[in-house]
Amino acid sequence: MKFRWQIHGQTLNFTRVARVSGNHRSADIPVRFGRIGAGPAGALSLGCQGVALSLLLFLANGWIGSSLAATHPSDAIIYTGMADASGAVAVGTNWFAVANDEDNPIRIYRRDQGGPPVKTFNFTAFLELDPKKSEVDFEAATRVGDRAYWLSSNGRNRKGKERSNRHRFYATTILETAHGVDLTPVGKPYKWLLEDLCSAPQLKRFNLAQAAALPPKDAGALNIEGLCGTPDHRLLIGFRNPVPGGLALVVPMMNPDGAIAGKRAVLGEPILLDLGGLGIRDMAYGEGKYLIVAGPYDGHKDGGFALYEWSGGVEQPKNLKVKLRGFSPEAIIIYPDKGLKEFQLLSDDGTRKIQGRINKELPLPEQQFRGYWVTR
């Protein structure tokens, strides 16, 4: 295995990323720096696939990196029964509920165990779908109190065709029991968010009606992939596409419970975030901070993903320097017992090859997606 260190900025100040490769796999391990004394050398031990690695850094002033997080393929928990993990929420301290953007059920998994879902909920009848084209393309989810909100992309399909089923916003109550978790739909599915976005005066400059007529991964198209609750029970809608002026677009929904009760959605003033030219793949809130997974608006995986922390308001997000390579994170899960010290990322692995075959083309029981823990 090889480590690559790069000098960054000031003398003897290294970047926060170390490159690890081995067994035909590679990943970036973020590091932070601290003073370890006046000695001429220091030692850093890292674990990878159960093997301890020792690295001697001969530094004149005694600076050394310590591991912040290890998010690479050898750390993955493999979950089965679907491939395209998108929106997800914590349900209790040991389970999560996740949507698959290739079908409509919500599946419950144990966070600490791989394998198939422990429970599946199918709300197709509740969603009032066109049976001829029933895929909703759920891409985002968030939890506020005992309620989970689920949102589709609101974009066209990959061929640029309009599908009415891809315009759904709905909520479920979460009931945690000694035997597991139950989800129950609330109110009615909301179908008019795209109309609201296109007609809102404060959003006219983004030309969302024109964007919505394009295939979702074209430059300037419309594709929603982020949803996040706020402390005052509003929601933030995060756009993968468009990325106007190289900035990620966020639109607040002021009345999510009113929308599922039959009222028109009320949208707030747009927020533009500097995510290095990337769009939003997911957002999550905890302990007064927002975590944001950013990724390319199109389908190029080599465009790179990044993890940001945002305090809200006028401050711009801070890049946490966690290099997310080798997987496609599209869901952040913050658990109540762990907070921001340790959270989970889920990878949309639909196009990943499993023994030479495209993952999402396999029979459902053979499909899989990966989960990663990030420790700070």
Q: pLDDT tens-digit profile of 79-123?
A: 999 999 999 999 988 999 999 988 999 999 999 999 999 999 999
**Stated pTM of the model:** 0.81
Q: Residue 188: pLDDT above 60?
A: yes
* 43 — pLDDT class (breaks 50, 70, 90): very low
- Residue 75's pLDDT is what? 78
Q: Residue 227: pLDDT above 90?
A: yes
- Residue 114's pLDDT is what? 94
Residue 24, token pair as written in the block: 């035909």
Question: Across all residues in the chain, what is the average pLDDT?
Answer: 82
Q: Are 365 and 313 in contact (CB under 8 A)?
A: no
Q: Residue 24: pLDDT above 60?
A: no
Q: Are 210 and 149 in contact (CB under 8 A)?
A: no
pLDDT (mean) for 257-277:
97
In three-state secondary structure terms, 181 is strand
Cross-strand partners of 295: 279
- Residue 301's pLDDT is what? 54
Residue 35, token pair as written in the block: 């003073």
Q: pLDDT tens-digit profile of 324-369?
A: 878 899 999 999 999 999 999 999 999 999 999 999 999 999 999 9
Residue 252, token pair as written in the block: 């607040």
Residue recorded with tokens 């009222």: 263
Domain boundaries, the chain: 2-67, 76-375
Q: Residue 62: pLDDT above 60?
A: no
Q: Which residue has the higher pLDDT, 38 or 102?
A: 102
Q: Residue 41: pLDDT above 50?
A: no
**Residue 246: CB partners within 8 Å, gap ≥ 6?**
274, 277
Domain 76-375 sits in CATH at 2.115.10
Residue recorded with tokens 């779908």: 129
Q: Are 12 and 62 in contact (CB under 8 A)?
A: no
- Residue 77's pLDDT is what? 96
* 303 — pLDDT class (breaks 50, 70, 90): low
Could you give the CA distance from residue 67 to residue 337 in angstroms, rounded to a whole number? 22
* 141 — pLDDT class (breaks 50, 70, 90): very high
pLDDT (mean) for 138-158:
95
Residue 170, token pair as written in the block: 């709905």
- Residue 92's pLDDT is what? 81
- Residue 186's pLDDT is what? 97
- Residue 302's pLDDT is what? 53
- Residue 112's pLDDT is what? 92
Secondary element (H or E) of residue 208: helix 208-211
